[in-house]
Amino acid sequence: MTTRIPITILSGYLGAGKTTIINRLLSGDHGRRVAVLVNDFGAVNIDASLIETEDDNTISLTNGCVCCSIGDDLGAALDAQAARHIPPENILLEASGVAEPKRIATHVGFWPGFELDALIVAADAETVRNRANDKFVGQLVRSQIRHADIIALTKTDLVGPEAARGVKAWLRNQVPNARIFEAPNGTLPVALAFGADRASNALSGPVEPAPHSHLRTVMCVPGTGLSRAGLARAIEALPSSVHRVKGFFRDLETGRMTLLQCVGRRHEFLEAPTDTETVLVLIGVGSDTEMNGAMDLLTASDALEADPKSTFAARISD
């Protein structure tokens, strides 16, 4: 009898901390051969000292793990892993932040040579309740949570113990039979990620119609370098309809390529590989005028001025 490779799906809304969890698992000394299939290859900021080999679609690590880009064909990506000289023991599949994970679970759970281990949903302790009640994306967020076998409650260190307990109680009310674990700084026990064997919610019930999330995406390639300080001020002025900002830019002060990750007002800058292409992506539920104005604020030279809020108001009123 051929052994099927177990798949763990990692889902969660934009900015919930999926990439941080992936980075922790990839760099962990857990003794497992894990293949991590991701959508955004460049956002996985792997420590260079852990990389053994690298090509356009695959990074092999010294601990036996591999990180691969899904590309346009998930089935082909799975088949490629099964065909490896030494196949992985587990697969961790990152779902897009706006994906309906139930559909993915149904697809991969019955793919020849594979079986669904569990659907893990990352939930941001700071924003998940607001997102679940949002008139534009609430249906999507609630659907993601409802089909979770395991919920990784992220960013609990940012809200404090009492608020974290409140969010956990709310989550238990939403999905009583899911296991809920705090994942501060993206740390998730390996035994939960691989070998949980809890796929129940993910495969139960019919596949629901894909919720219409009203999300808009604006992408831009900045023509010049950007200042971290200027970007930080601009981020403070962004409207609440902007849910996520991410991308790469050249730091004016250091001349180095830099990764920007932003959820709401919280943001971080990380050094990126020198050959990374410059691009900024903004995702939210605002009007076209509002979203384009927000991107202009981030990329234009006047984003470095001391009063970006007035600049933004002027841009969207033009």
pLDDT for res 3: 80
| 318 residues of the chain, pLDDT tens digit each | 468 899 999 999 999 999 888 888 887 777 888 888 887 655 555 556 556 666 666 777 776 777 777 766 788 888 988 998 889 898 989 888 888 888 888 888 778 899 888 899 999 999 999 999 998 899 999 999 999 999 999 999 999 899 999 999 999 999 998 999 999 888 887 777 787 565 555 555 554 554 555 778 898 988 889 999 999 999 988 988 899 898 999 999 899 999 998 988 889 998 888 888 899 988 888 888 888 899 998 987 444 455 555 554 545 555
Ordered structural domains, the chain, with CATH? 5-193 (3.40.50.300), 216-317 (3.30.1220.10)
pLDDT for res 133: 95
Provide the residue type at 242 as one letter: V
Could you count the other beta carbons within 10 Å of the beta carbon of residue 275? 6
What would the DSSP string read from start to end of the chain?
-PPPEEEEEEE-STTSSHHHHHHHHHH------EEEEES-GGG----GGGEEEE-SSEEEETTS-EEEE-TT-HHHHHHHHHTSSS--SEEEEEPPTT--HHHHHHHHHTSTTEEEEEEEEEEETTTHHHHHT-TTTHHHHHHHHHT-SEEEEE-HHHH-HHHHHHHHHHHHHH-TTSEEEEEGGG---HHHHSS----STTTSSPPPPPP----EEEEE--SS-B-HHHHHHHHHHS-TTEEEEEEEEEBTTT--EEEEEEETTEEEEEE--TTPPPEEEEEESS-HHHHHHHHHHHHSGGGGSS-HHHHHHHHHH-
Provide the residue type at 310 as one letter: S
Residue from 208, 154, 157 nearest 181 by CA: 154
